Amino acid sequence: MVVGMPKKFANENPKVIAARERKAAAKKDEETKKQKALEDAYWADDDKLINRKLQRKEEEERKRAEALKRKEEIRRLAEEEMNGLASKSANAQSQKVTRATIEQRREAELRLQLEEEKRRKLAAEKIEVVDHLEENLNQLELDKESARTVSDAIRILGGDNEEVDIHPEKRMRAAYLAFEEARLPRLKQEHPTFRLSQLKQLIKKEWQKSPENPINAKLLALNAK
């Protein structure tokens, strides 16, 4: 009789008990794997529409913050200059300088506003190109031809006169590995709590839109024609 064994299992065969324990351990391991798979699936969410909206929002917030910072700096400089002028005699000449300073500040703020509008327009054009790239990468169709592999995509984009690439997949993989190696250190700093698989997922998303991707480079060249 095994010491410390529950009374109901006291007369059971040790092999049966061992088998039951192995089964319980296997079940627990399976549940752990399922939970990990769910977590990985959560972090690997590829909802491109949501990601684009988040990226646009972050970009707009960053630009607004930069514009406010520049305006605040202009105001600060103007106030310092005006305070310096106030310490001098309040004669007609100083008043002219003050008016000129105010006018310069207004002109500077107007320039900032025009620059901000120009940046927004350029950002909108960039987003439109990125969206176009994503549509082409999901199903590349040119002249009624469909590209289902890297080789097909590069061949179709290159045209009939393009020199044939014997190993396009190897070239694509080499380009991606170089891109991953360059991006990984910065992403580790930006997301120190992320697992390696999560960081690589972020790199993969960036790669799909990057001009360093050979297919994107071809598409951008075609769009420029």
**182-212 residue pLDDT tens:** 999 999 999 999 999 999 999 999 998 888 8
The whole-angstrom separation of Cα 157 and Cα 18 is 62
pTM across the whole model: 0.29
Give me the pLDDT at residue 156, please: 46
Task: Over range 80-100, report the average pLDDT.
Answer: 69
Confidence of residue 84 (pLDDT cuts 50, 70, 90): confident
